[in-house]
Structure 1
C-alpha cells in the first residue's frame, strides 16, 4: 500500500480535445491534480502545446511548483484532408471541415496506445470526442475518465433527450405548439425543437447522431465522468445524474478558481490582445457594478447586421461596457464615438481578470459552460445568448433554475447565423436594462453573489469539490495498488 508521502507515484494522464474550451479547463485540472502531489501528464499536439507550456512555465514562478509534463503527439492534418497547421477546432469551423477534423482526431488513437503501453499511467482522462479512448485504456487495464466540458444539468438534459426523444411529439416549429416538456427531471423544463441541432431531431442518420451515440457508449463503459461544476450549484442534477441515471461522476470545479494571481488569470488560454494593466486601469476608473462585459466565446462569429444591432442597443442604453470582438469585425466609427463609455477588445481578452473586477455588473454570454461558470464564480448576473452545442441547456440552468439570468431571446440552434436569426436592438436593449436596473436586478445580483461564495467554499479544504477530488485520488490510488501488486 502506498503511504501518504508517496502520492506522487500516482500518475494521471489528461488528453483534452483540441479546442480552447476543452484545453483551458483541462490545464486547470492538471494543476489541481499536481497541487495534490499527483504526477500529471498533458497530451496535446505541436501547435496547441504553447497554450500549456506558457502557462506551466509561468506557474513555476509561483509558490506551487507543478508536477506537470507535456507529451506532444503529431496531428495527422494532411492525412485527414485538412490544411497543414489546422490543429484546433477554431480553425475547422467551416462546413465539411469539422468532420475532417474529427477524422484526424480519431487518427491519434495509435499514438495514444503506444504512449499508454510505454508509461502505464494510473488513469486516463480524455475528452468526450475521443470515444475510442475507453477501449484504448482498457487494453492496458487503465481506468478512463470522460470530460464533457459541461455541467450536470446539461448532461442530464442530453441524456433525457436521448432516452425519451420528447421532441418527436412536436408537430410544428411555430410557437407555442412547438414546446415540449423534458420528462423525469427534478424541475419542469420546457424546450423547443429549434433549440436543438436539427441533426438530433431529423429522421436522417447523420455523422452527428453517430458521433453522439458513440460518445454515450464510451461514457457508459468508462470508469466515470469528471465534471467542472460544484455540488451546491446544481445539487438536484448531481444527484439525478448519479442516482437516477446511474453514472459515476466527480465534480471538482470551478477549476478556473485555481488561477489565483493576476498573472495566472491574465495568461489563461491565449496571450491577451490587450495589456492587462491598461484593462485594469480603465476598469478602476469605473463605479462598482456599473460595466457590462460582453463576450461570445472563441468559436462564435456574429454577422455584421447582428453587430450593428448590438452597437445600437449599447448606444441607446448609454451603458458602460467592455466588448470582446473578433479582429476582423468592422464596427464602423463606433469605437471612436464610444471612447470613455466602452472598451473594445479585439481578439483574446483576460476574461477572468475582467469578470472578477468590482466594476463589472453583468455578463452578456453565449452560455458556453466555461464562460457561464466563470460568470457564476465571479458572482455576476447574466444576459444569456445561446447559439449552438449545449448552450441552450446552460441557458435554462441560468434563467429557470438559478434565476440569475435574463434571456436575450435567441430561439434557434445555429453555427452559421443568418439574417433571419438576428436579435433586434429592442430585445437587446430591454435585456441590458433588465439585468442592470431595478429591484429584480438587485435580487439577481444578490443571488449571484451567494453562488460566488458557494463556489469558493467548494474548493476549500473540506468543501464539496475538494472532497470529491480527494475521493477520486483515493480511489485511483487504491486501484493502482491492486494493479501494481
Structure 2
C-alpha cells in the first residue's frame, strides 16, 4: 500500500556513473514514485547514459536529464560514460574526470530548476559525487548523500583511505590493523584491495585523494540515506550519525523495497535461457557465479574455479556481462555449467529454488540481493569496499564464507557452505533468517510498515518541513 501523503515538488537523484551505483538510485526513484505519487522525480546523468537509462522501464513520474561529458577530453575511451568495461588503471582517472568536468554544468542545471514553477525539494546525490554538496549549499538546496554501500564497509573504507594506518612499512598479509574512528574493528592486510595496499608506497595515491575529497564534501550534506536495513547494521548507522552529526536513514535494501528492477528490453533471450536451464536443476544444487559489471578474475583463476566446481559435480550458472568475464571454454569439460554471456536478471535468478549459493565479488548490491533471497554468499573480493562487505557477512552476520584468492579455494568454500554438516547448515540458516529480517524491513500491511519504509517517510518529512 503506497503512502497517500502529498509531496508536491521536485526531487533530483544524481547517481554516480557506474551500474552498481545507478541501479540502487533507480530503485530509490521507483520507491519514491510509488509512495509519493505527486512528486516530480528527475534522474540526472550524462548525455551518453540517456539511451541506456531510457530502456529501464521507469514510471511516467520519473524523467531523465543529461549533462554534457566528453570522455576523450580526459584520455578516456569515447564510450566511457560509465565505469563498465574500463580497465582498472582508468577507473580513478574516470572518477577525477567526473569531479573536474561536471560542477559548472551541474550548478547551472540546479539553478535552472530553482527558477521553475515547482519547488525543488531536495537533491539526493551519490557518495562519489560529494562535490555536489557545496554547490547545493551555496544555492540553498537541501542536499542528501546517498550511500550505495553500507555504513560498516564505508566506515572502514573511508577511515583507511583518510588515515592510512596501513602505511607503516610492514607488509605481512596477516598484520592486524586498527581502524581509526571505528572502535573494536581491525582488518588484516590481506583484506585490503590491491589499490589500497599500493598506498603503502604512495601516501598521495590518486584514489586516496579522491576519497578524501568526497568525504570532506559529504560532511556538508544535510542527511545521509543508506541502501541497507537497521537489522543488518544498526550499530554502524549510529556510529556514522554520531561521528558526522548528520541524520541517517536506512531505507533499503532498495531492490526489495522497490519491487524489482524494471524491464531491460532486447536481452537476446538470455533470461529465458537461464531460467529454462535452472528449471532442469535440482533444488538448492546450483552455484550462481557473478563478479559484477566491472570486475574480472585473472583468466587462470576463472578457469580453475570452473574446473574445480565441475570436479565437485556442482552445476553452475556463470553470468558474464562482458566477454572477458567468462571462464575459458576448455575449463568446462563435463558440461554441467552454463555461461550467460550478457546481462541477466540477477535478483530473479537468486530466488529460483535451484540456486543454493552465490560466488560473488562482494559488491553491496549483489550481497544484498543474495541475503534478501536467503542465499549464502561465498566471497572472492576484488576491489573497493568488497573486502569489508565480506567481513561483515562472514564475521558478524555468519551468512557466508570467504576465499581470498584461487578458484580451487573458492570451490572448497562452496563445498563448506553447501555440505550437510554443522557449518553449512548454520550458514544457510542464518541466510534464511536475514532474508526474513530484510522482508520485514520493507513490508507494509495491516500491522504497519517496516523500519526501512518508515525511515524513508521520516526523511521526506524532514525535507517537506524545511520547504
Normalised to the residue count of structure 2, the TM-score between the two structures is 0.89
| 1:429 alignment partner in structure 2 | 411
- 1:82 and 2:76 matched: yes
- 1:400 and 2:382 matched: no
Q: For 1:355-392, what per-residue CA distance to the aligned partner results, in whole angstroms no more than 9, with x for missing partners?
A: 11111111101011111111111111111110111111
Structure 2: tracts of 5 or more residues without a match: 115-119
* Change in 2 beyond 3 A, CA 1:187/1:364: farther
| 2:441 alignment partner in structure 1 | 458
Q: For 1:10-31, what per-residue CA distance to the aligned partner results, in whole angstroms no more than 9, with x for missing partners?
A: 3210011111011111100111
* Change in 2 beyond 3 A, CA 1:403/1:222: same
Distance 1:244 1:136 in 2: 23
| 1:477 alignment partner in structure 2 | 464
Pairing partner for 1:353 from 348, 351, 355 = 348
| 2:117 alignment partner in structure 1 | none
Deviation at 1:189, TM superposition (A): 3.6
* Change in 2 beyond 3 A, CA 1:310/1:193: closer
Distance 1:102 1:164 in 2: 20
Q: For 1:92-111, list aligned pairs within 5 A.
A: 92-96=86-90, 98-100=92-94, 102-111=96-105
Moved more, 74-83 or 366-375: 74-83
| 1:73 alignment partner in structure 2 | 67
| 1:46 alignment partner in structure 2 | 47
Q: For 1:238-277, list aligned pairs within 5 A.
A: 238-260=237-259, 264=261, 267=263, 272=267, 274-277=269-272
Pairing partner for 2:171 from 170, 173, 188 = 173
* Change in 2 beyond 3 A, CA 1:312/1:372: same
Deviation at 1:180, TM superposition (A): 2.1
Distance 1:6 1:182 in 2: 43
Distance 2:215 2:95 in 1: 20
Q: For 1:326-349, what per-residue CA distance to the aligned partner results, in whole angstroms no more than 9, with x for missing partners?
A: 3244623445x343x222111222
| 1:416 alignment partner in structure 2 | none
CA RMSD of aligned residues (A): 2.4
| 1:13 alignment partner in structure 2 | 12
* Change in 2 beyond 3 A, CA 1:155/1:424: closer
Q: For 1:106-143, what per-residue CA distance to the aligned partner results, in whole angstroms no more than 9, with x for missing partners?
A: 31222211221111221111122223211211122001
| 1:295 alignment partner in structure 2 | 290
Distance 1:289 1:330 in 2: 23
Distance 2:211 2:244 in 1: 17
Q: For 1:232-381, list aligned pairs within 5 A.
A: 232-260=231-259, 264=261, 267=263, 272=267, 274-325=269-320, 326-328=322-324, 329=326, 331-335=328-332, 337-339=333-335, 341-381=336-376
* Change in 2 beyond 3 A, CA 1:456/1:172: same
Deviation at 1:171, TM superposition (A): 4.7
Deviation at 1:81, TM superposition (A): 3.3
Contact 2:360-2:380 at 8 Å conserved across structures = yes
Q: For 1:115-154, list aligned pairs within 5 A.
A: 115-120=109-114, 121-154=120-153
SS at match of 2:295: coil
Contact 1:73-1:111 at 8 Å conserved across structures = yes
Give the number of equivalent residue pairs: 449
Deviation at 1:147, TM superposition (A): 2.3
Contact 2:161-2:211 at 8 Å conserved across structures = no
- 1:447 and 2:448 matched: no
| 1:23 alignment partner in structure 2 | 22
Q: For 1:213-224, list aligned pairs within 5 A.
A: 213-224=212-223
Distance 1:259 1:279 in 2: 23
Distance 1:393 1:259 in 2: 26
Contact 1:8-1:39 at 8 Å conserved across structures = no
Deviation at 1:254, TM superposition (A): 0.6
Moved more, 389-398 or 93-102: 93-102
Deviation at 1:162, TM superposition (A): 5.4
SS at match of 2:128: coil
